[in-house]
Chain A
Amino acid sequence: DTGVSQDPRHKITKRGQNVTFRCDPISEHNRLYWYRQTLGQGPEFLTYFQNEAQLEKSRLLSDRFSAERPKGSFSTLEIQRTEQGDSAMYLCASSLGQAGRNTEAFFGQGTRLTVV
């Protein structure tokens, strides 16, 4: 257990429905990342927060995706009008510090989304 928790662990949804995932990072970590991983691939960057500010978004993050981190603590990732291509493992990670450029990220166990 890395200390990063994600909820739910698994989600099955019908195409067109909205889903929301939650991530609770390690409490003292001010940096938070969302990644997406499909079978046989490495994690792909989606978005990054420093405290409550969303500082970078990947072009992979279409208008149907939105992420928030109110108060710089937990984060949510919402996917609207889900499509079958959204089926993947969604990973959240956190890391430490303003000057912590050389620090590793700690990953949660992921939320596996299946769109049917």
Chain B
Amino acid sequence: AQSVAQPEDQVNVAEGNPLTVKCTYSVSGNPYLFWYVQYPNRGLQFLLKYITGDNLVKGSYGFEAEFNKSQTSFHLKKPSALVSDSALYFCAVRGPYNFNKFYFGSGTKLNVKP
């Protein structure tokens, strides 16, 4: 069965420093991978996705993610964190055998301190 793991419940980083939010997946084949962000009492906002091609994908708000097939990881990164990046981040996987749903990780709370 497809699954996604986000090993860190919380990540703390100082403003201006680079940030990484980790995600690993457990799916055979070639899944589609996504990152979403959730602000308090709001729905999820799409950040970026990996379908195929270049392992480094760029998304909204300066975020990027690196797909690593050998490590089955899809870590979210940003070169310079902003206080406004503080939010809950979810990694999700879709496919490759069932495209009817997205499987989400448990989320990582990112705290960016000024």
Kindly identify which residue among A40, A45, A107, A112 contacts B44, using a CB–CB cutoff of 8 Å.
A107
| A105/B102 contact (C-beta < 8 A), A42-B107, A91-B44 known | yes
Contact of A104 among B34, B43, B107 (CB under 8 A): B34
Contacts A42-B107, A56-B100: A101 and B44 contacting too (C-beta < 8 A)? no
Is A62's CB within 8 Å of the partner chain B?
Answer: no
Say yes or no: A109 contacts B43, CB within 8 Å.
Answer: yes
Q: What range describes how many residues of B lie at the interface?
A: 20 to 34
The interface residues of chain B lying within 8 Å CB-to-CB of A48 are 100-101
- The answer to whether A101 and B103 touch across the interface, beta carbons within 8 angstroms, is no
Most buried by A among B45, B94, B95, B101: B101
Instruction: Name 14 interchain pairs, CB-CB below 8 A, sorted by A.
Output: A2-B43, A33-B101, A33-B102, A40-B107, A43-B90, A44-B104, A55-B100, A56-B100, A91-B43, A101-B32, A101-B95, A104-B34, A107-B36, A107-B45
